Amino acid sequence: MRLARYAVPMLLATLTTSASAADWFVAPDGKNSNAGTKDAPWDIAITLSGGQKKVQPGDTIWLKGGTYKVPWTKGKQSYGYEVRLAGAPDKHIKIRPVTGERAIIDGGLNLPETTTYVWIQDLEIMASEPRPDKVLGPANTANALPPESDISLYRPWSGLNVYGGKDMKFINLIIHDNCQGSSWWVASEGEMYGCIIYNNGWQASDRGHGHCVYTQNKDGTKVISNCIMSSMFDGTYCVHAYGSANAYVDNYVVEDNFIYEKGPLLIGGGRPSKNVKALRNVCFNVPLKFGYSSQENEDGELKDNLIVGEALALKKFKTLVNENNTVVKAGQGAPKTVFLINKYDENRAHLAVYNPQKAATFAVKMDKFIKGGETVKLLDPKDFYGKPLWEGKATGDTLNVPTPKDCNVYVVLKVPSTK
């Protein structure tokens, strides 16, 4: 069975700005006294913190290729470069790398409550400090942050930390090897789309800590869509939409995500959740948990999810749409493919293949994405910039994809023609 879900590419809409919008450039060796042009770029810290007053709503900040290392002192927790920018409705400030260049944020981004109408796209966010084998001492389970005497002695917190903002978008980010992938808190709203999040967290003396996405929400809607996530340690989650009885886990749409290897997808907490949706997610060897410790949630929608090798844990809802969810043991059931074209990048797609018979290859129809003669790459999500797992020319709109495991997840890239 093939489940193909297409999104209309929106690349042109994403890049379109008003006639008055300006392009500004930063570089690892940029200077505040420069003009902010491609040949004379600014410093990243001052620019993102709002210190360059020329940046206005609707503008784009382009990061030239290279590594942007956040200053860090052992024993002092660091959440990354502060992004204190304010766009406006239909005039978002965009932060993205120069086309074709790889911009790495080494140490994280921190968006306070004053940040609003900002879109961040195509960046890599990580921490280069090595992860300790084990952090000793108890973790502070009240807010999931370790005492400064623990993890801050080894490495910065890093990741994508979001505390504010209306209509925020985080698009096609690669977030890995941080203490936590993304911390997306209650005052903000927006969309996380197409992100690849893996190998975050650390091992403490009690259990693993640090999730791919730890999030809470009250007003507005948070959308987590078309992301690929894999956790690293027992006790950590891929999606941890969770809070105590005093927190809010409301108004979520978690859809079209591929979650695999380790780390459950959880939506729920101690307070009854309302208006939460988990739609068309693929969970390979991880459970999907809808609701948590609250005795009864308000309303939810749970539809068209595929769960292989683990369970669907469902708590009580006053009103619940529960339809077409498939739960199978690993190696059983019918083969399935899910192919999603990226709505912000017409040359990118995500692919999940469930191949219980373990055939060496699996034919995947990719119409509306590729055609005969085009060059296609299959990438390991955890090695996006590494050697492709497969590269070749398509003979039509169907690709014979290598499937060495029963559960396979890929990023598919189409190489644009240079003609």
Tokens representing 76? 């002092």
Q: What is the predicted pLDDT for the residue at 20?
A: 78
Are both 187 and 39 inside the same structural domain?
yes
Collect all residues with Cβ–Cβ distance below 8 Å to 370 and sequence separation of at least 6: 376, 394, 397, 399, 414
C-alpha angle 379-266-105 in degrees, rounded to nearest 5: 45
Task: Please check whether residue 7 lies inside any domain of the structure.
Answer: yes
What 8-state DSSP symbol labels residue 373?
T
Q: Contact at 8 Å (CB) between 127 and 106?
A: yes
Residue 373 within a domain = yes
Beta-strand ranges (E) seen in 268-357 are: 276-279, 282-284, 288-290, 297-303, 306-308, 312-314, 317-323, 326-328, 336-341, 348-354
Question: In angstroms, what is the C-alpha Rg of the chain?
Answer: 21
Same domain, 96 and 230: yes
**Could you tell me if 225 and 249 are in contact, meaning their C-beta atoms sit under 8 angstroms apart?**
no
- Give the residue from 216, 236, 256 where a domain finishes: 236
Kindly report, residue by residue over 47-83, the tens digit of the pLDDT.
999 999 999 999 999 999 999 999 999 888 899 999 9
Whether residue 270 lies inside any domain: the answer is: no
| pLDDT per position as a tens digit, 342-385 | 999 999 999 999 999 989 999 999 999 999 999 999 999 999 99
Instruction: Evaluate whether 301 touches 327 at the Cβ level (below 8 Å).
Output: no
Between strands 81-82 and 336-341, the pairing is unpaired
- Residue 34 included in any domain: yes
In a domain, 114, yes or no: yes
Sheet holding 213-215, edge to edge: 81-82, 109-111, 160-162, 182-184, 213-215, 239-241, 265-267, 288-290, 312-314
Residues 38 and 175 in one domain: yes
Tabulate helix, strand, coil % of the chain (nearest 5).
Answer: 5, 40, 55
Q: Are 42 and 25 in contact (CB under 8 A)?
A: yes
Residue 316: other Cβ atoms inside 10 A = 11
Where does a domain end: 236, 268, 293? Answer: 236
* Residues 6 or more apart whose Cβ sits within 8 Å of residue 213: 181, 182, 184, 192, 197, 224, 227, 229, 238, 239, 240, 241
**What total of structural domains would you count in the chain?**
2
What's the rounded Cα separation, in Å, for the pair 317 and 301?
10
Cβ 376 vs Cβ 314: under 8 Å: no
What does the angle CA 398 – CA 384 – CA 222 come to, to the nearest 5 degrees? 90
Secondary structure, 3-state, 214-267: EECECCCCEEEECCEEECCCCCCCCEEECCCCCCCECCEEEECCEEECCCCEEE
Distance CA 415, CA 374 (A): 7
pLDDT at 147: 52
Query: What is the per-residue pLDDT for 417?
Result: 72
Print the domain residue range for 200.
Answer: 2-236
Regarding whether 10 and 146 lie in a shared domain, the answer is yes
pLDDT digits (tens, 9 = 90+) for 287-315: 999 999 999 999 999 999 999 999 999 99
Task: Please tell me whether residue 381 adopts helix, strand or coil conformation.
Answer: helix
Distances (CA, A) of 199 to 176, 210, 308, 397: 5, 10, 21, 33
Residue 301 belongs to some domain of the structure: no
Tens-digit pLDDT profile for the chain (419 aa)? 444 444 444 444 444 444 579 999 999 999 999 999 999 999 999 999 999 999 999 999 999 999 999 999 988 889 999 999 999 999 999 999 999 999 999 999 999 999 999 999 999 999 999 998 877 655 555 444 455 447 888 899 999 999 988 899 999 999 999 999 999 998 778 999 999 999 999 988 778 899 999 999 999 999 999 999 999 999 999 999 999 999 999 999 999 999 999 999 999 999 999 999 999 999 999 999 999 999 999 999 999 999 999 999 999 999 999 999 999 999 999 999 999 999 999 999 999 999 999 899 999 999 999 999 999 999 999 999 999 999 999 999 999 999 999 999 999 999 987 65
Alpha helices in 84-136 (DSSP H): none
How many Cα atoms occupy the beta-carbon half-sphere of 342 within 13 Å? 27
Residue 149, pLDDT score: 47
Q: Which amino acid is at 390?
A: W
Q: Give the chain's length.
A: 419
Specify the pLDDT at position 14.
44
Q: Of the residues 208, 236, 264, which one is the last residue of a structural domain?
A: 236
